[in-house]
Structure 1
């Protein structure tokens, strides 16, 4: 089993004019990227994709209008195929930027779309020319790409203004069972709001079994859609054992946020859990899932950068 192709591309950009951006920038960057990507790859320029004869062969449809292709054995209620990308916006909460200020964002790609990275690059180039943030003096401030890092190296050729043919694509695999390293304590940080449902309602707390449920759902759906198929895991047993792990300490809060959907012409709730939480118990068999999900984002609205987890501190059993 090869696993899941995983590409991480960190763009460094520079503003050509002063800019005003929101505190959390996920919706802003996802919006300009989506518009630019459709313009970059759409051949027939139909208003919608529904009646386009190229629908089944179009990269835009693959990336943004993924059909339901998930039928998991795990009974984790995966209701939609995940998008093959995550757009992690700039980490800063800064809102007022000067001309010449630099910022970074990261694009994660899953599966075969990594081979089409240049289309994503051109979309961000076009988004830079169109501009981002609030209009100032009648237009949105533009930006340009100055570097791209992937796999620990620059893949941007400044002399041509294009990415090189090299990239840092790796293969992610899922293993089941205990590891040789015993862990009884883990500190988890929610780096961006985590939004997920349990029993058909949005959760505001994160007991360990719900974290494991969200991780398994994310892993299962991505591997079915973009890799070798559903991992052979003991889902029921994992969830039963996860309920025995206790919360030792937590500082969680509800992050209120909503975005305006141009397609649906209404404001959409995007609120979720943020903060830190510490778990204690027999954790070693769950660490591979935490490690892989720190690369994938979990929960709902991951395309906007939600559900980024990290900052783990392991305490090893003696």
Structure 2
């Protein structure tokens, strides 16, 4: 588990580099009837992009790569690939975005006026300082509407309140954020040494998981593939938005992960479709769903898995994909 020390001002990581992560819980109520897909991550992420651009864009008739302010713009920072501004970056590994939208968990597609729903927004690093823009953008989505049109109107909603660290920091009545610094510093802490005692870890995929290994999307989940994805996610995020990637024996961890067995797998492939306004076409976004039990010498991997639980793993994490939880069975 991340080894954290609570202080009066903030939470600090005792060992190793840290990264600030803010988990903001939005509680909302629909003001119109809604038709939404079963998995709502793409819908929320898509309308969020449009709304944020409306909120922050100064030169609305310019493309981002032509804009004088693109190196300072929040929209460009979290939505536009580096290769758009620097042709030399084409073909380079993409930099992970500093946010995740965890959409409503309900699979209901038809929701009624007055229905409540909630979602979470994760922010990484200094982008937590831009929280007011995110709040304003989501409030504007509520005014503009979301989902398919019913009688010519999309579903509106009200952001009733936002919680951080289980404390209310915003209400619709006040429409202001309470003062303070948002986000907690998280990290791996001191990685435990490998132990001889084997045990079982159960992994439950809460949202579809899209992983590539050997340049192919995976339909199963060997433990070493999960650990590779977790290490990649942690190291790239910490390098970009934290205090640098953790000093780990990456090759040794992957080698030892190959010795862990999947002893009970209930995984299946889940296909869902999203529409890309930018590319003007529908796209299949399948991923692995279900659960899998691993057995082996797992002690040293627990801090990695616990941190990856928070950060998500795999592709399209901004849509909320790649969320999992684990249970240790000793």
TM-score bin, normalised by smaller chain: over 0.9
Partner of 1:95: 109
- 8 Å contact from structure 2 (residues 129, 182) kept in 1: no
Give me the whole-angstrom Cα distance separating, in 1, the residues matched to 2:257 and 2:250: 10
Name the CA shift for 1:47/1:253 in 2 (closer, same or farther; >3 Å).
Answer: farther
Partner of 2:6: none
CA-atom RMSD, angstroms? 1.8
Partner of 2:227: 212
- 8 Å contact from structure 2 (residues 162, 170) kept in 1: yes
2:58 paired with 1:33: no
Partner of 1:138: 152
Partner of 1:72: none
Shift of 1:162: 2.2
**For 2:63, which of 48, 52, 75 is the aligned residue?**
48
Corresponding pairs, count: 307
Matches within 5 A, 1:102-181: 102-166=116-180, 168-175=182-189, 177-178=191-192
- 8 Å contact from structure 2 (residues 40, 103) kept in 1: yes
1:228-255, CA deviations, whole angstroms, 9 ceiling, x for partnerless residues? 1221111100000000000111100000
Matches within 5 A, 1:63-82: 63-67=78-82, 79-82=93-96
* Unpaired runs of at least 5, structure 1: 69-76
2:66 partner SS? coil
**For 1:261, which of 276, 295, 301 is the aligned residue?**
276
- 8 Å contact from structure 2 (residues 40, 104) kept in 1: yes
Name the CA shift for 1:254/1:167 in 2 (closer, same or farther; >3 Å).
Answer: farther
* Unpaired runs of at least 5, structure 2: 1-15, 84-90
Partner of 2:12: none
**For 1:271, which of 286, 300, 304 is the aligned residue?**
286
Give me the whole-angstrom Cα distance separating, in 1, the residues matched to 2:146 and 2:181: 27
- 8 Å contact from structure 1 (residues 46, 52) kept in 2: no
User: Which stretch of structure 1 is more off in the superposition, 171-180 or 59-68?
Assistant: 171-180
1:126 partner SS? helix
Shift of 1:12: 0.5
1:11 partner SS? strand
Matches within 5 A, 1:280-299: 280-299=295-314
Shift of 1:267: 2.1
Shift of 1:176: 5.4
Give me the whole-angstrom Cα distance separating, in 2, the residues matched to 1:90 and 1:167: 26
Give me the whole-angstrom Cα distance separating, in 2, the residues matched to 1:265 and 1:98: 29
Normalising by structure 1, we get a TM-score of: 0.92
1:186-214, CA deviations, whole angstroms, 9 ceiling, x for partnerless residues? 11000000001111111100010000011
Give me the whole-angstrom Cα distance separating, in 1, the residues matched to 2:92 and 2:287: 19
Name the CA shift for 1:293/1:94 in 2 (closer, same or farther; >3 Å).
Answer: same
Partner of 1:74: none
1:107 partner SS? strand
Give me the whole-angstrom Cα distance separating, in 2, the residues matched to 1:136 and 1:259: 19
1:163 partner SS? coil
Shift of 1:97: 1.0
